[in-house]
Structure 1
């Protein structure tokens, strides 16, 4: 990003710039008993440490039991925060933006904006301290909590990048009705009590891992009821660590499918692995999942998405470059157009690598012409954008399971979120079984009644 904008004249200068970006997260006492608050905190830490190289500084009483199951961590929330790359501090660092989560004392740092993150089952957002009302923030409102966390890190990052509106405005979204601009209004949406149990997931990079982080943090009654087919053929690279929520540098060089399967199985899910490129020749059997979530950026593969026999395809694409990296678009098929008509015959534009920073790389001998082209064509990616897209993708399935509206396209920019657009599905899919698993609910819900509602 910094090379493309001309802010720096070398890769080292770019790292130095981003190492000045950090965030404070001040956590209230709610985090001790609320699974959703813990999910929001861990999502902010996980995405924040990949975007803000100066660190994620967490303030609050975190020596409490961990309520969110994470592989390899079974003791305290403080251990989980540190394992994901967060730093435990006694007070906020001055000069850095602050995110307030829960009933905190609002002890923000001086010299930088502070925002409050809030959520309920279907909604998530942020706003300046004291300028808007918090949502209900139920203890099991995990999906909304993840959305709020993604938006909070987005606003922080854009603020540090110099966008004057970021972290000084109210920003949020309803996953029940993504097109609604008044996301704080109560729409009477039902409580979330079920999620899909059988999925095919294609592509295990930035988007695919964001899908899985979001899905796996939902509070399933029995994760063993959930089976996910994982399709990819690549190995993890160091670049994946900067954008992909399940990647750590110690797993670089290993196949994505196996690393992700290990993470999911440690969480209690069942997995199947397909290590081959999707080229449109895939044909499903009766035992395969009938719903696919796609996170690949290969235009040829995307063009063939609705030709493999899946009953429902949900895919997302992210913007590229130093300006468009904050954009995302979600498509569902079957739709009013085919995937072939949308992406068939298109070619990806290739960057040229213009600018003083690129010239310096060649002159210094750090890269040759081939390496320069490879560097210049890298997509600018940020994990909070993938997480926002993941919330839209996962909620599309969850909403359909709860009888909500079906959507064909959602288009959003986290820089100008009020300009987002939504296109309802042109044709509703005839009723059929997606397969679902129950989520744990607060005691006030009657589970037999929930089962009857699902039936």
Structure 2
């Protein structure tokens, strides 16, 4: 096996786009990045700040081979993860080097909170509850930091901007981006920060625990929560060498290689308080659903055929995530929400025929000819057909999927199809909206005001707080009147 195999699904973005003459050159581009994550004391103890820092650390190390976290103090980890109890302890386990002083050798910096940039190129994570994005300068104060999903998305988006520099072979100026995770298809407006109280499903069926599936689990664990929760984890594959660079739950060191992907997801979810059941076989539409099974299927599969089978299988809700496959669309995100009995004709469209000429052109490119010396012609054909998979795209997709399934559980309308390009996330588009079913299928209430108090920002007038409390209580009482339990 070629030594370039570990990051092969990432370096394909360079080779397939004719950005480099060899996979070795792509590796060198990635290795030339010396990334620092600088975390201010004002954010290291907040859910969003911790999620941004750990997401940037993990995706940065997987892409660039090394990353340094700069912090003057540590903080207890808010989320319950199986790899440490403090932010810096977890960062170290994820492969980061720790320091309390920025280095002059850093080529790129990502700033989180009150952390002035010292490198020549820098971008800053930004959020305000459900709003999330980046700022070209670190002088814009963040807002409500109590939602970890916003931090995870911002951290992924910041690493994406660093990655763009590596792909271009030169520094690309960072820029401001803002997305509403609550309603990414709408134009962001000041003060429209999304709800403080919402519902999170307490039973999920997660199918496909590779790049996208593990990214969803990452976001779910950072979000946290409480109550009796069940996750059915389904995948029939083992962890391979190439998964370390693309899958968020595969840690450095190689000790998980050869283990089942379901096992990696189980260890994270059970540490976060979820009960789990494993199904280590493919779903062929032949598993009979019972009343005790989760009503929500979250899928992240590569191929269309099993998606069509699952869409007809009878889950009350299927939330399907997909990303582009080629060098020009590997940052394209599609999220489809399908209800039981829904007409799925045209929802995915017909899969394009295998473009043998494109695969042949790739095989005849300098990068693939060099790879052919290690894999042979047949090996490069299979590899040319494989998709690009970059970890920050997975995390961003996972945050958006989590937000959409929370909307469903909170009895809000969701789009049948949401499309977003990570290079221009503010240009997200959506199809027709699925109205709320009016029936709660099982959820746990999540209250930011109760779980994460933010000094100086939780002092809203009592009347405002009471209005929102009463609205939420009314919605839930309407749910109860329908005879359904909220868990």
Provide the TM-score with structure 1 as the length reference. 0.89
Structure 1, unmatched stretches of 5+, are none
Map of 1:454 onto structure 2? 476
1:178 pairs, out of 180, 184, 198, with: 184
Partners in 1 of 2:469 and 2:192 — Cα distance? Answer: 24
Please state if 1:355 is matched with 2:375: no
Partners in 2 of 1:158 and 1:217 — Cα distance? Answer: 26
The change in CA–CA distance for 1:448 and 1:186 in structure 2 (over 3 A counts) is: closer
Please state if 1:190 is matched with 2:209: no
The 5-angstrom pairing of residues 326-345 of structure 1 reads 326-334=331-339, 338-339=343-344, 341-343=346-348
**Is the 8 Å Cα contact of residues 29 and 61 (structure 1) preserved in structure 2?**
yes
The 5-angstrom pairing of residues 40-439 of structure 1 reads 40-53=52-65, 55-74=66-85, 76-89=86-99, 90-94=101-105, 96-104=107-115, 106-110=116-120, 112=121, 114-129=122-137, 133-138=140-145, 140-162=146-168, 167-181=173-187, 183=188, 185-187=190-192, 189-222=194-227, 225-248=228-251, 249-334=254-339, 338-339=343-344, 341-343=346-348, 346=351, 349=354, 351-352=359-360, 353-362=363-372, 365-425=373-433, 427-439=434-446
Superposition deviation, residue 85 in structure 1: 1.4
How many pairs are equivalent?
A: 442
- SS of 1:321 mapped into structure 2: coil
The change in CA–CA distance for 1:361 and 1:37 in structure 2 (over 3 A counts) is: closer
Partners in 1 of 2:129 and 2:42 — Cα distance? Answer: 16
Partners in 1 of 2:23 and 2:284 — Cα distance? Answer: 36
**Is the 8 Å Cα contact of residues 202 and 208 (structure 1) preserved in structure 2?**
yes
Render the CA deviation track for 1:298-344: whole Å, top value 9, x for unaligned.
21101122211111111111012222111111111139974454458
**Is the 8 Å Cα contact of residues 156 and 392 (structure 2) preserved in structure 1?**
yes
**Is the 8 Å Cα contact of residues 306 and 338 (structure 1) preserved in structure 2?**
no
**Is the 8 Å Cα contact of residues 264 and 270 (structure 1) preserved in structure 2?**
yes
**Is the 8 Å Cα contact of residues 411 and 437 (structure 2) preserved in structure 1?**
no
Superposition deviation, residue 404 in structure 1: 3.3
Map of 1:28 onto structure 2? 40
Partners in 1 of 2:110 and 2:271 — Cα distance? Answer: 31
Render the CA deviation track for 1:77-117: whole Å, top value 9, x for unaligned.
2111111111223214446222110122x13212x2x2221
The change in CA–CA distance for 1:36 and 1:333 in structure 2 (over 3 A counts) is: same
- SS of 1:388 mapped into structure 2: helix
The change in CA–CA distance for 1:27 and 1:238 in structure 2 (over 3 A counts) is: same
The change in CA–CA distance for 1:195 and 1:166 in structure 2 (over 3 A counts) is: farther
Partners in 2 of 1:403 and 1:388 — Cα distance? Answer: 23
Superposition deviation, residue 345 in structure 1: 5.9
Partners in 2 of 1:25 and 1:93 — Cα distance? Answer: 14
**Is the 8 Å Cα contact of residues 135 and 176 (structure 2) preserved in structure 1?**
yes
Deviates more, 1:251-260 or 1:402-411: 402-411
Partners in 1 of 2:427 and 2:474 — Cα distance? Answer: 39
The change in CA–CA distance for 1:94 and 1:137 in structure 2 (over 3 A counts) is: farther
CA-atom RMSD in angstroms = 2.6
- SS of 1:73 mapped into structure 2: coil
Partners in 2 of 1:319 and 1:401 — Cα distance? Answer: 27
Map of 2:5 onto structure 1? none
Partners in 2 of 1:321 and 1:22 — Cα distance? Answer: 27
- SS of 2:52 mapped into structure 1: helix
Superposition deviation, residue 358 in structure 1: 1.7
Structure 2, unmatched stretches of 5+, are 1-11, 459-464, 478-487
Render the CA deviation track for 1:19-55: whole Å, top value 9, x for unaligned.
11232211111234323211211111111111222x2
The change in CA–CA distance for 1:398 and 1:371 in structure 2 (over 3 A counts) is: same
The change in CA–CA distance for 1:355 and 1:342 in structure 2 (over 3 A counts) is: same
Partners in 2 of 1:68 and 1:429 — Cα distance? Answer: 30
The change in CA–CA distance for 1:167 and 1:213 in structure 2 (over 3 A counts) is: farther
